[in-house]
Amino acid sequence: MKFIHIADMHLDACFNNLSKINGLPEKRRLEQRKIINDIVNYIKENEIKFLFIAGDMYEQEYIRRSSIEYINRLFREIPDVNIFISPGNHDPFIKNSFYNNTFEWSENVHIFKNNIEKIELEDVDIYGYGFGDYYCKQDVVENIKIENKSKLNILLVHGSVDGGNDEFRQYNPMSSKKLKELGFDYIALGHIHKKSYNDEKKQRIVYPGSTISFGFDEPGEHGMIFGDLSKKDLKLEFIRLDTRKYECYKLDISECLSNEDIIEKIEEINLKENYLYKILLIGNRNFIIDIKEIEKLITKENIVKIKDDTKMTYNIDEIILKNDIKGVFTKIVIEKYKQGIFDKETMEKVIETGLEVL
Q: Tens of pLDDT along 190-207?
A: 999 999 999 998 899 999
Instruction: Please provide the average confidence, as pLDDT, over all residues in the chain.
Output: 93
What element of type H or E holds 82?
strand 82-85
Asked which of 213, 240, 267 is the last residue of a domain, the reply is 240
Asked which of 240, 259, 287 is the last residue of a domain, the reply is 240
Q: What pLDDT score was predicted for residue 320?
A: 87
CATH code for the domain of 68: 3.60.21.10
Q: Name the band, by pLDDT with cuts 50, 70 and 90, for residue 150.
A: very high
| Mean predicted confidence (pLDDT) in 108-136 | 95
Percent of the chain whose predicted confidence (pLDDT) is above 70: 99
Q: Do residues 73 and 152 share a domain?
A: yes
| Residue-wise pLDDT tens digits, 232-247 | 999 999 999 999 999 9
Nearest to 142 by CA among 177, 167, 166, 96: 177
Q: Do residues 216 and 290 share a domain?
A: no
- Domain count for the chain, please give it: 2
Asked which of 240, 261, 282 is the last residue of a domain, the reply is 240
| Residue-wise pLDDT tens digits, 13-54 | 999 889 888 889 999 999 999 999 999 999 999 999 999 999
Q: Do residues 188 and 163 share a domain?
A: yes
Q: Do residues 193 and 332 share a domain?
A: no
**Distance (Å) of CA 284 to CA 157, 255, 270, 288:** 49, 8, 23, 11
CA distance 190 to 5: 9
Domain of residue 91, residue span = 2-240
Write the CB contacts of 305 (distance below 8 Å, at least 6 apart in sequence).
17, 20, 216, 277, 278, 279
Q: Do residues 181 and 261 share a domain?
A: no
Annotate 60-74 with DSSP letters as a single string: TTT--HHHHHHHHHH
Q: Do residues 173 and 196 share a domain?
A: yes
Amino acid at 243: T
Q: Do residues 214 and 300 share a domain?
A: no
